[in-house]
Structure 1
């Protein structure tokens, strides 16, 4: 027997080539001691088995926890993501269309949140519909008396011979303001009709070369401090006919030309260009004005939106939204390209008249 290690309570001994770990159990006053022993190899095996089971239990517990947490997170987060996506896609036009799906698998708190959100959308839709009806009714009621006032002012200016220069200038200013207010009411009425699906157009074949030239001539008569030029890039063997409402399209061109003049210096050039396009025919309205900041371009056709560099010019921010509404109703598209300080180009693309459109 050989002792490898010794202390007061434990001792590792070797008997016949086998290691034993001894532990002092009790010591008597007589000097006798009681020891217990165990094969050292067995202790190592037990420890290894214990460590192995601890690893298995630990990994299993972690996997079970991950599965449980993942299920709980999916159950809570997925409905919240649905609400977030619907909120991001919500617009005035989709208030009455988008409904919140049933979330029966979601926790009670999330279901309550979805219910509250759905009720909020319903209230917003009701409020928006009331606003549309109010704007439409007020615009319609105010349009007639404004037209009458404008007519009386115009006749008074033309027929009265006893007016002083100051009185004539005052009446002329009142007439111009009444015209501006009537045009604003017309824009509000068009937007209200578009929102309610009641905007009516008279679609027909239109010679764009003739219409653009007429719009340029009429605009030049009152834009005496700007130069207007019409360029026709349509090949001779192709027609410049397109499908549109001629009156509405002419008004759109007036609005774009006036907008170009408003943000351009005196004596600057405004160019109307007819170009062939794979989707039809394009009408470009180009100016040499202050341009539009890049950050404003995605929002330029939104209602009441005005560019950051337009603070010095009057306006309501409705003109371009009405233009976009009209072009869309004609089945066309409108795009804008601009660089601040270098001018802007508004491109209207109208579909050509084809046999399929004629059959409809």
Structure 2
């Protein structure tokens, strides 16, 4: 919990609020001090001039020292918040109304005095405080005896030591306490409000995190909850919603992949079971005939021995063919065997394949015919793989065609695709079996031949997919099945 995003945001907000409070206090203190200095200097800008005028400090163009001492004594009694200093033209302190033991300077800088005399509205202008070597304060000043005949300056510090003492007491009093409580309450309110806002902002992220954890643990209820969350936030567009959408897509992909893996696992189990059965059948047959030949060799005639050997040889060939198909299908599934596309003439390929299977068709009493448009342009595909597909389709057609029937190889095309159709006159395929004829080792009810593993059509399907083509099957209305493969024309691929 301490490492959660909400906790870190809360800690960050707390530090931020403390920093804001300190900066606010510092800026407020400095600004308030300058404000008070400006106001005080504005209100008392003519104080020094009025003191000279009202107390008759100048007599016949000279400073009346007696009147000056009376002024010092008077203002030390009735207004201890100000301090009055008499300066010579160089800024040296000649006399003053303050306690002599607390005077630290023997002169003050004339630059602030001249700046204020030149522009009396430039507030605040701070001058040297004779009671300190570092401190500066607001002041009022006037040249004496006059601006035309400057023999010195009457320099009035508006916030003297007595004022500072009273101000310090006020800061430590009730007003400062109230201000501190106000600042503390404001910061506390900001902290609580910020935490509430953070809770609202992180609530969806926390919920999404919990759903991800539940989904990771395989909790099925997390999927439904995730869907509801996506529906509720479907119209928002902030980062949390984008993260939720990304999680939706990731979860969909994971679930789809899991389903595919489960389906693959089911097919794998079925494949292993069927392969085991298909391998066991020829092996058992071979073993049986070989053992019989060994045990009854003396009692069997040469013709019977030859027949036993022929059957064992046929079963070994069937077993070898099945193993070869298994290796080929595995290589295609693993993409170890990839097509090498090249342009070739479809009519030439069809004639070569038909000629290759002509003797087998003749032995079965089936006529192998080539029809359609023999002038089609060149197509782009792997010649060897395409021939392998046609070999499988023609062998299947010959296997199921009755005697004295036809197996037709038909060529057709449109603007983009070449279509080669292999039609037979056999019993066709049950409608229930049509969606599964390209599944590996699928055996329909009509496939009752011993040792037939059903891998040829699966291999053909995989080859056509790798080439960017496809393969389809349908039953003909007049009887028989028709397998059609499609490949793109070379001109279509160039476009």
Range into which the TM-score falls when normalised by the shorter chain: 0.5 to 0.7
Asked if the contact 2:318/2:451 (under 8 Å) is kept, the reply is no
- What is the aligned partner in structure 2 of residue 231 from structure 1? 370
Residue aligned with 2:413, SS = strand
Asked if the contact 1:276/1:282 (under 8 Å) is kept, the reply is yes
Asked if the contact 2:333/2:462 (under 8 Å) is kept, the reply is no
- What is the aligned partner in structure 2 of residue 90 from structure 1? none
- What is the aligned partner in structure 2 of residue 30 from structure 1? none
- What is the aligned partner in structure 2 of residue 176 from structure 1? 314
- What is the aligned partner in structure 2 of residue 211 from structure 1? 349
Q: For the structure 1 residues 235 and 213, does the alpha-carbon distance in structure 2 shift closer, same or farther, using more than 3 Å as the test?
A: closer
**Alpha-carbon distance in 2 for matches of 1:123, 1:327:** 21
CA displacement at 1:78 relative to structure 2: 6.4
Q: For the structure 1 residues 81 and 352, does the alpha-carbon distance in structure 2 shift closer, same or farther, using more than 3 Å as the test?
A: farther
- What is the aligned partner in structure 1 of residue 462 from structure 2? 325
CA displacement at 1:265 relative to structure 2: 1.5
Q: For the structure 1 residues 186 and 279, does the alpha-carbon distance in structure 2 shift closer, same or farther, using more than 3 Å as the test?
A: farther
Q: For the structure 1 residues 331 and 339, does the alpha-carbon distance in structure 2 shift closer, same or farther, using more than 3 Å as the test?
A: same
- What is the aligned partner in structure 2 of residue 190 from structure 1? 328
- 2:224 matches 1:79: yes
CA displacement at 1:164 relative to structure 2: 4.9
Asked if the contact 2:366/2:401 (under 8 Å) is kept, the reply is no
CA displacement at 1:336 relative to structure 2: 0.8
- 2:340 matches 1:202: yes
Larger fraction in helix: 2
Larger fraction in strand: 1
Which whole-Å deviations, capped at 9, do the CAs of 1:97-149 have from their partners, x for residues lacking one? Answer: xxxx968xxxxxxxxxx9xx97x949957x95xx79x99xx9xxx9xxxxxxx
CA displacement at 1:335 relative to structure 2: 0.8
Which whole-Å deviations, capped at 9, do the CAs of 1:167-217 have from their partners, x for residues lacking one? Answer: 544444444333322222222122212222222223212222121112112
Q: TM-score with structure 1 length normalisation?
A: 0.52
Residue aligned with 2:490, SS = coil
Q: Which of the residues 410, 417, 432 maps onto 1:280?
A: 417
**Alpha-carbon distance in 2 for matches of 1:235, 1:122:** 45
CA displacement at 1:274 relative to structure 2: 1.0
CA displacement at 1:230 relative to structure 2: 3.0
User: How many pairs were matched up?
Assistant: 229
CA displacement at 1:165 relative to structure 2: 4.6
- Structure 1: where are the runs of 5+ without partners? 1-74, 83-100, 104-113, 143-162
**Alpha-carbon distance in 2 for matches of 1:329, 1:166:** 48
**Alpha-carbon distance in 2 for matches of 1:315, 1:203:** 31
Q: For the structure 1 residues 256 and 193, does the alpha-carbon distance in structure 2 shift closer, same or farther, using more than 3 Å as the test?
A: same
Asked if the contact 1:291/1:343 (under 8 Å) is kept, the reply is yes
Asked if the contact 2:371/2:408 (under 8 Å) is kept, the reply is no
Which whole-Å deviations, capped at 9, do the CAs of 1:63-106 have from their partners, x for residues lacking one? Answer: xxxxxxxxxxxx96962897xxxxxxxxxxxxxxxxxx968xxx
- What is the aligned partner in structure 2 of residue 109 from structure 1? none
Q: For the structure 1 residues 356 and 312, does the alpha-carbon distance in structure 2 shift closer, same or farther, using more than 3 Å as the test?
A: closer
Asked if the contact 1:288/1:342 (under 8 Å) is kept, the reply is yes
Asked if the contact 1:203/1:330 (under 8 Å) is kept, the reply is yes
Q: For the structure 1 residues 122 and 288, does the alpha-carbon distance in structure 2 shift closer, same or farther, using more than 3 Å as the test?
A: closer
Q: For the structure 1 residues 339 and 275, does the alpha-carbon distance in structure 2 shift closer, same or farther, using more than 3 Å as the test?
A: closer
- What is the aligned partner in structure 1 of residue 358 from structure 2? 220
CA displacement at 1:286 relative to structure 2: 0.3
Q: For the structure 1 residues 186 and 294, does the alpha-carbon distance in structure 2 shift closer, same or farther, using more than 3 Å as the test?
A: same
Asked which structure has the greater CA Rg, the reply is 2
- Structure 2: where are the runs of 5+ without partners? 1-219, 228-245, 280-300
- What is the aligned partner in structure 1 of residue 404 from structure 2? 267
Q: For the structure 1 residues 334 and 277, does the alpha-carbon distance in structure 2 shift closer, same or farther, using more than 3 Å as the test?
A: farther
Asked if the contact 1:290/1:341 (under 8 Å) is kept, the reply is no
Q: TM-score with structure 2 length normalisation?
A: 0.39
Q: For the structure 1 residues 182 and 338, does the alpha-carbon distance in structure 2 shift closer, same or farther, using more than 3 Å as the test?
A: same
CA displacement at 1:356 relative to structure 2: 4.6
**Alpha-carbon distance in 2 for matches of 1:313, 1:269:** 25
RMSD: 4.4
**Alpha-carbon distance in 2 for matches of 1:184, 1:338:** 27
**Alpha-carbon distance in 1 for matches of 2:455, 2:403:** 24
Asked if the contact 2:379/2:418 (under 8 Å) is kept, the reply is yes
Asked if the contact 1:213/1:230 (under 8 Å) is kept, the reply is no
Q: For the structure 1 residues 164 and 295, does the alpha-carbon distance in structure 2 shift closer, same or farther, using more than 3 Å as the test?
A: same
